[in-house]
């Protein structure tokens, strides 16, 4: 927003501008934007490239400051893929991420819809109750959760199960909050008109609010999906079988009492980014462009 | 299939007998509770109940390895109170509170302004938009531990990229993570860097919700770009801003993993200069000699602080929650 | 439809029968769970021992859980203990014993199976230093000591004889200065090859406590271990000696080259003090490194000392709840701590046997790499830690302050009360 200022300095206030003046400003403004975005973009890319390039260095070369490997090797990839359960960790992470993302997309939207569009006693209290779940560090909940997982209310044990890894995140307060914020912009008149047409309350949610909120739901799903690839303390505690661990937990095994095998960690981390990157590239247009405008017109 | 249809009759019947006889506002209340039922059960059982258990621990000399826990009343709180009065140099608890405040007060506004600027610029340009969006999202999809390691290299006192660049411009080299004065800001920069993509996307999604016709109308009225920003963009972006302010504040208050990953031994050093409340919670709870009761008490204090801050923020930013 | 149901019933019946049969067959087999942190060589060595043990004891089944990352070991043990599951026999660092005993997690080793005088005469002396409340709570397979690693190529490049490493503290300073290479004037910023770097977060805090202070004529703690004495005059001299490498002679810093350990392993540091476990890192990451090992340099009066430590095995309260389990755990513990197990350990893991008989094996003493470690066992001391991580942090912090320019004596005086408080807090809970 600060970037907008320089171009505005010589704008005569309240006087209608000529079209060409406005256009010239736009050109300057865009050029400026490209410059700044490229600079910031560079800082975004460098660490990332460093990570990838490290994954092609051998164990001794990673401690040298050269940016690109002098003797590029794919040994790290071979070692990580063949000597560890990485493919399996990959699969586990994927399953857990898909599970929670589907659940989050549905339940968070539903709860967000209620908070955005209904008035009922206890609304503020219940909303704060949901939010309050964010206010306690999950590091403190490890032990209560583990006790629960060893002797769960449903089933025999949650230890070493996908559900066990996933359950703390199947509904998220951040998501409920996000959906509430976005669904507030759905016009009440639209819902009331539909009610008059005999649409049920769930029908309002499913047939009107969801289509209008698809960009937000998309964003929420992506964030949730990506967030699952970073969580490690809880998945670590609730799994003891190497074949049930997730990728971030697995990466922990490359650090030992003797220090960390950074060439392997970088390789694992680089590998873990690939599917995420594909998702971002494929879906980013969809998330942001969305169909908000067409939805509102139709 | 027939069974299913048959089964729903009692429900349909009782629904018709009860809910449908209610007035419309009351029907809405009924459905609000029905929709919230599963999420509410989830939060109560999976989040709130363990939280209450953790709160309970704060009144005990709680040790996960022990069978019986000794009840000690408010002793853990008294100890925290004592610890925050000591100098930060020798009291990690005091340092943790001081640093956490710094992370929030500096980090949250900085991240907000930066991400909004980027989002505005992104919505302005016409070419390579996809390309830039993907680039800004890169840090967000990269694992925190890998990011931490890479930055430890970039921050290296000698051959680190940042110091090489400084030296190239004949500027004095810096100690970054190795100095008490700069370590916190060095970590903060990485956290902002990594979270930027998230905030940018939220803002972009919010910007997309603003109909272009508003701007076109403003342009016809002759309002400047800056006026449009103040009169149209900011007010209509309010839901996104509220969301980010509240959530980023909470997440800075709960800062943990980056400090664990970027400081030597994950100790929040040098000399407690980067440690945070949650890092202390983790360290005290799972150290050699567990002080989980003390950790729990720290958690309660943090919880109270976050709750207060959140309520104030919600009051200030959304005048009409209900 | 009918057929499907019948089939299902049949399957259920078969499952039920096999389950009951299974339970009956396993009736007299006791299952115990053993936990250690993940380290490939340790995992392999322990698998061998378990296989041998189960062959000899068909009535005991040992479940081996070593899939726990090193950094998260305590966290995982804590969570399992709180939930009432977890190990019956557990591997722990010796410095955790007092804390785990205080919590009631460990039970004393049965004296009839592990007689105290037997431990005291057959095991390395540092093992008996972990006696607590008149009992032994854990017993190791192997032990470790600190020694001086030196890079022969870098010594040769500096014109030193690669076969005569430093013998005294003064020689270490001289040779460290001689081997340090700079790109410009002699300051830390210009270092390309380090001579020696103190690493407080690594092993240097042990070197300071159990070696340097004693060599300068002091003691780290009072006899009963309840009082911090390292902020004495000797402590002051020792801490200055340690800090001078970085601050006075600029021979290296732990802040450079991703830490002193990595610098040595990657051939960028001439001297390094570390434990025998580091041999494995070198073999793994840089097998071409041309290095040697020698005993830690002698002090001004010619006396030697080293810090000894060990990962040890204890029996938990889980096992003690059940008589059969307790007996199985005891037998297992006896089996994995024999002299033979120690020999297997030295071959597989590279740590020294805890039993003196195996550690004084002439072949071992003659080994150019392991020999100096084995030789120093006889004078090795193990600090009695009550909270190992917190006590280490105190010295890390004191050193950081010295790096900022504070006088070493002042830094020690400032932080001694912090550790004293830890000790007081612990002993208050004991008395």
pLDDT, one tens digit per residue, over B228-250 is 888 888 888 888 888 899 889 99
Angle at the Cα of C365 from the Cα atoms of C359 and C369, rounded to 5 degrees: 110
Domains in chain C and their CATH numbers? 31-144+309-381 (3.40.190.10), 145-307+387-430 (3.40.190.10)
The pLDDT of residue C36 is 92
The pLDDT of residue B113 is 94
The pLDDT of residue B252 is 93
How many domains does one find in chain A? 2
Does pLDDT of A57 surpass 90?
A: no
**Mean pLDDT throughout C192-211?**
90
CATH number at residue A237: 1.10.3720.10
Give all strands (DSSP E) within C257-310, no chain letters.
269-275, 291-294, 306-309
CB contact under 8 A, B289 and C390: yes
**Mean pLDDT throughout B65-82?**
90
What is the CATH topology of the domain spanning B70-317?
Answer: MetI-like fold (1.10.3720)
**Mean pLDDT throughout C173-188?**
86
CB contact under 8 A, A258 and C267: no
Residues of C in contact with A261 (CB under 8 A): 285
Under 8 Å CB-to-CB from B277, ≥6 apart: which residues?
Answer: B96, B97, B100, B253, B298, B301, B302
Does pLDDT of A73 surpass 50?
A: yes
Q: Which two tokens stand for residue C302?
A: 């010619």
DSSP string, C122-157: HB-HHHHTT-BTTB--EEESEEEEEEEEEEHHHHHH
DSSP string, B129-192: HHHHHHHHHHHHHS-HHHHHHHHHHHT-TTT-HHHHHHHHTTPPP--GGGSTTTHHHHHHHHHH
**Are A45 and A150 contained in the same domain?**
no
* Residue B257 host element (H or E): helix B257-262
**Mean pLDDT throughout C360-385?**
86
Range picked from B18-22, B133-137, C333-337 for highest mean pLDDT: C333-337
Indicate whether A70 belongs to any domain.
no
Name the neighbours of C, counting chains with at least 3 Cβ pairs within 8 A: A, B
Q: Give the 3-state secondary structure of residue C212.
A: helix
Q: What is the DSSP letter of C298?
A: B
Indicate whether A203 belongs to any domain.
yes
**Mean pLDDT throughout C345-363?**
84
End-to-end CA distance of chain A: 33
Indicate whether A12 belongs to any domain.
yes
β C306-309/C380-381 pair status: parallel
Q: What is the mean pLDDT of chain B?
A: 85
Confidence of residue A74 (pLDDT cuts 50, 70, 90): confident
Does pLDDT of A192 surpass 80?
A: yes
Residues of B in contact with C189 (CB under 8 A): 157-158, 173
**Are A243 and A153 contained in the same domain?**
yes
Indicate whether A68 belongs to any domain.
no
**Are A97 and A48 contained in the same domain?**
no
Of the residues B57, B205, B307, the best mutation for testing chain A's interface (the one with the most A CB atoms within 10 Å of its CB) is B205
CB contact under 8 A, A146 and C82: yes
pLDDT, tens digit (0-9, with 9 covering 90-100), for A217-263? 887 888 888 777 777 788 888 888 888 888 888 888 887 776 777 78
Of the residues A24, A37, A107, the best mutation for testing chain B's interface (the one with the most B CB atoms within 10 Å of its CB) is A37
Q: Which two tokens stand for residue C31?
A: 């299952």
- Put simply, whether A147 touches C (Cβ < 8 Å) is yes
Q: How far is A253 from chain C (nearest CA, A)?
A: 5
Range picked from A16-25, A33-42, A221-230, B123-132 for highest mean pLDDT: A33-42
Residues of A in contact with B254 (CB under 8 A): 134, 137
Does pLDDT of B320 surpass 50?
A: no
**Long-range contacts of range A205-209, CB-CB < 8 Å, 24 or more positions apart?**
A205/A109, A205/A110, A205/A113, A205/B35, A209/A109, A209/A113, A209/A117, A209/A183
Q: Which two tokens stand for residue C276?
A: 């025998």
pLDDT, tens digit (0-9, with 9 covering 90-100), for C256-284? 877 888 889 888 899 999 988 888 778 87
pLDDT, tens digit (0-9, with 9 covering 90-100), for A144-172? 898 888 888 888 888 889 999 999 989 99
**Are A149 and A257 contained in the same domain?**
yes
Q: Which two tokens stand for residue A263?
A: 């060439």
> Which of C75, C84, C280 has its CB closest to that of A258?
C280
**Are A218 and A280 contained in the same domain?**
yes
Query: Which residue matches tokens 């923020």?
Result: B313
Does pLDDT of A140 surpass 50?
A: yes
Confidence of residue C15 (pLDDT cuts 50, 70, 90): low
| Rounded CA separation C356/C378 (Å) | 9
**Are A43 and A150 contained in the same domain?**
no
The pLDDT of residue B231 is 86
The pLDDT of residue A251 is 81
Number of Cβ pairs closer than 8 Å across B and C?
89
| Higher-scoring residue by pLDDT: A274, C67 | C67
Does pLDDT of C3 surpass 70?
A: no
**Are A33 and A87 contained in the same domain?**
no
| Rounded CA separation A6/B86 (Å) | 48
**Mean pLDDT throughout B18-45?**
84
**Mean pLDDT throughout B13-32?**
76
Does pLDDT of B321 surpass 60?
A: no
Q: How far is B181 from chain A (nearest CA, A)?
A: 23
**Are A38 and A81 contained in the same domain?**
no
Does pLDDT of C407 surpass 50?
A: yes
**Which residue ranges does chain B devote to CATH 1.10.3720.10?**
70-317
B63-72, B76-85, C49-58, C134-143: segment of lowest average pLDDT:
B63-72
Confidence of residue B183 (pLDDT cuts 50, 70, 90): very high
Confidence of residue B5 (pLDDT cuts 50, 70, 90): low
pLDDT, tens digit (0-9, with 9 covering 90-100), for C314-349? 999 988 888 888 999 999 999 998 888 888 888 888
- Put simply, whether C43 touches A (Cβ < 8 Å) is no
Does pLDDT of A11 surpass 50?
A: no
Give the structural domain span for A43.
4-54
Q: Which residue of B has its CA nearest to C422?
A: B289
The pLDDT of residue B4 is 58
DSSP string, B78-142: HHHHHHTTS-TTT-HHHHHHHHHHHHHHHHHHHHHHHHHHHHHHHHH--SSHHHHHHHHHHHHHS
The pLDDT of residue B223 is 81
What whole-number percentage of chain A has pLDDT above 90?
12
**Mean pLDDT throughout A271-284?**
77
Query: Which residue matches tokens 């907008």?
Result: A4
> Which of A63, A150, A256 has its CB closest to that of C70?
A256
Does pLDDT of C158 surpass 80?
A: yes
Q: Which residue of A has its CA nearest to C201?
A: A259
| Higher-scoring residue by pLDDT: A193, C256 | A193
Of the residues C69, C87, C90, C284, the best mutation for testing chain A's interface (the one with the most A CB atoms within 10 Å of its CB) is C69
| Rounded CA separation B85/A289 (Å) | 52
Instruction: Considering only the C-alpha atoms of chain A, give the largest distance between any 2 of them, rounded to a whole number of Å.
Output: 74
Confidence of residue B7 (pLDDT cuts 50, 70, 90): low
**Are A8 and A136 contained in the same domain?**
no
**Are A178 and A140 contained in the same domain?**
yes
């Amino acid at each position: 927003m600060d970037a907008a200022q320089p171009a505005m300095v010589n704008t005569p206030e309240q006087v209608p501008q000529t079209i060409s003046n406005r256009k010239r400003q736009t050109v300057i403004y865009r050029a400026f934007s490209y410059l700044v975005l490229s600079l910031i973009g560079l800082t975004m890319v460098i660490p990332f490239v460093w990570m990838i390039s490290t994954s092609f260095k051998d164990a001794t070369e990673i401690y040298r400051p050269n940016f690109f490997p002098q003797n590029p090797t794919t040994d790290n990839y071979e070692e990580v893929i063949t000597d560890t359960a990485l493919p399996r960790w990959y699969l586990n992470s994927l399953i857990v991420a898909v599970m929670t993302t589907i659940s989050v997309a549905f339940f968070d939207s539903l709860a967000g819809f209620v908070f955005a569009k209904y008035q009922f006693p206890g609304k503020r209290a219940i909303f704060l109750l949901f939010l309050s779940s964010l206010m306690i560090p999950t590091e403190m909940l490890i032990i209560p959760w583990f006790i629960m997982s060893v002797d769960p209310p449903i089933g025999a044990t949650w230890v070493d199960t996908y559900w066990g890894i996933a359950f703390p995140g199947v509904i998220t307060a951040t998501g409920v909050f996000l959906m509430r914020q976005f669904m507030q912009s759905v016009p009440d008149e639209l819902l009331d008109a539909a009610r008059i047409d005999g649409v049920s309350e769930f029908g309002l949610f499913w047939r009107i609010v969801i289509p209008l909120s698809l960009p937000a739901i998309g964003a929420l799903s992506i964030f949730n999906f990506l967030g699952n690839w970073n969580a490690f303390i809880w998945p670590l505690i609730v799994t003891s079988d190497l074949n049930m661990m997730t990728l971030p937990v697995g990466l922990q095994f490359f650090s030992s009492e003797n220090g960390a095998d950074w060439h392997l960690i970088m390789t694992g981390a680089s590998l873990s980014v690939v599917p995420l990157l594909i998702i971002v590239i494929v879906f980013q247009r969809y998330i942001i462009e969305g169909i908000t405008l067409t939805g509102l017109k139709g | 299939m027939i069974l299913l249809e048959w089964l729903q009759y009692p429900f349909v019947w009782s629904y018709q007998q009860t809910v449908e006889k209610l007035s419309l506002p009351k029907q809405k209340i009924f459905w609000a509770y029905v929709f919230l039922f599963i999420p509410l059960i989830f939060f109560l059982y999976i989040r709130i109940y363990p939280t209450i258990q953790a709160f309970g621990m704060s009144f005990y000399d709680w040790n996960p390895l022990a069978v019986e826990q000794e009840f000690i009343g408010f002793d853990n709180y008294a100890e925290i109170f004592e610890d925050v009065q000591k100098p930060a140099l020798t009291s990690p608890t005091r340092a943790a509170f001081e640093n956490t405040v710094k992370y929030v007060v500096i980090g949250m506004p900085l991240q907000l302004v930066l991400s909004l600027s980027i989002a505005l610029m992104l919505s302005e340009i016409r070419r390579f938009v996809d390309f830039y969006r993907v680039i800004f999202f890169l840090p967000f999809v990269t694992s925190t531990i890998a990011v931490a390691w890479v930055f430890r290299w970039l921050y290296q006192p000698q051959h680190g990229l940042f110091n090489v660049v400084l030296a190239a411009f004949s500027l004095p080299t810096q100690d970054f993570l190795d100095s008490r004065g700069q370590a916190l800001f060095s970590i903060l920069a990485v956290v902002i860097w990594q979270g930027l993509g998230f905030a940018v996307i939220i803002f972009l999604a919010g910007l997309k919700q603003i109909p272009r016709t508003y701007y076109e109308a403003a342009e016809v009225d002759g309002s400047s770009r800056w006026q449009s920003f103040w009169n149209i963009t900011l007010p209509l972006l309010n839901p996104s801003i509220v969301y980010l302010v509240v959530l980023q504040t909470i997440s800075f208050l709960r800062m943990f993993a980056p400090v664990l990953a970027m400081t030597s031994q994950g100790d929040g050093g040098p000399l407690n200069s980067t440690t945070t409340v949650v890092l202390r919670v983790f360290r005290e709870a799972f150290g050699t000699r567990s002080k989980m009761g003390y950790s729990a008490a720290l958690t309660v204090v943090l919880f109270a602080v976050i709750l207060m801050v959140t309520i104030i923020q919600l009051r200030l930013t959304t005048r009409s929650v209900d | 439809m009918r057929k499907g149901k019948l089939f299902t019933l049949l399957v259920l019946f078969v499952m039920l029968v096999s389950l009951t049969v299974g339970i009956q067959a396993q009736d007299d087999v006791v299952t115990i769970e053993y936990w250690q942190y993940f380290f490939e060589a340790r995992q392999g060595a322990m698998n061998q021992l378990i296989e041998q043990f189960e062959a000899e004891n068909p009535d005991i089944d040992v479940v081996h859980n070593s899939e726990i990352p090193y950094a998260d070991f305590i966290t995982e043990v804590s969570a399992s203990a709180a939930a009432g599951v977890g190990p019956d026999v557990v591997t722990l660092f010796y410095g955790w014993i007092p804390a785990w005993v205080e919590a009631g997690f460990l039970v004393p080793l049965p004296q009839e199976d592990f007689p105290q005088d037997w431990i005291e005469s057959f095991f390395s002396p540092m093992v008996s230093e972990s006696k607590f409340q008149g009992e032994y709570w854990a017993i190791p397979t192997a032990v470790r000591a600190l020694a001086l690693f030196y890079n022969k190529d870098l010594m040769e490049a500096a014109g030193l004889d690669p076969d005569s490493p430093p013998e005294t503290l003064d020689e270490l300073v001289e040779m460290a200065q001689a081997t340090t290479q700079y790109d410009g004037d002699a300051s830390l910023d210009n270092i390309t090859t380090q001579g020696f770097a103190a690493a407080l977060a690594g092993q240097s805090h042990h070197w300071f406590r159990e070696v340097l202070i004693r060599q300068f004529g002091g003691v780290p703690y009072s006899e009963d271990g309840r009082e911090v004495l390292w902020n004495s005059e000797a402590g002051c001299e020792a801490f200055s000696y340690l800090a001078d490498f970085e601050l006075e002679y600029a021979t290296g810093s732990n802040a450079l080259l991703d830490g002193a350990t990595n610098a040595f392993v990657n051939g960028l540091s001439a001297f390094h003090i570390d434990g025998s476990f580091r041999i494995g890192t070198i073999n793994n990451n840089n097998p071409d490194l041309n290095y040697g090992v020698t005993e830690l340099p002698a002090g001004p009066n010619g006396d030697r000392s080293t810090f000894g430590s060990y990962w040890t095995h204890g029996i938990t309260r889980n096992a003690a709840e059940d008589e059969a389990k307790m007996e199985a755990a005891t037998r297992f513990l006896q089996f994995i701590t024999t002299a033979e197990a120690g020999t297997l350990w030295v071959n597989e893991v590279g740590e020294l046997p805890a039993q003196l008989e195996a550690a004084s094996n002439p072949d071992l003493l003659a080994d150019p790499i392991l020999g100096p470690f084995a030789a120093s066992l006889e004078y090795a001391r193990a600090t009695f830690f009550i909270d190992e991580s917190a006590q280490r942090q105190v010295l890390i912090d004191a050193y950081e302050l010295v790096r900022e320019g504070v006088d070493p004596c002042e830094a020690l005086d400032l932080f001694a009360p912090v550790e004293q408080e830890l000790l007081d807090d612990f002993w208050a809970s004991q008395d």
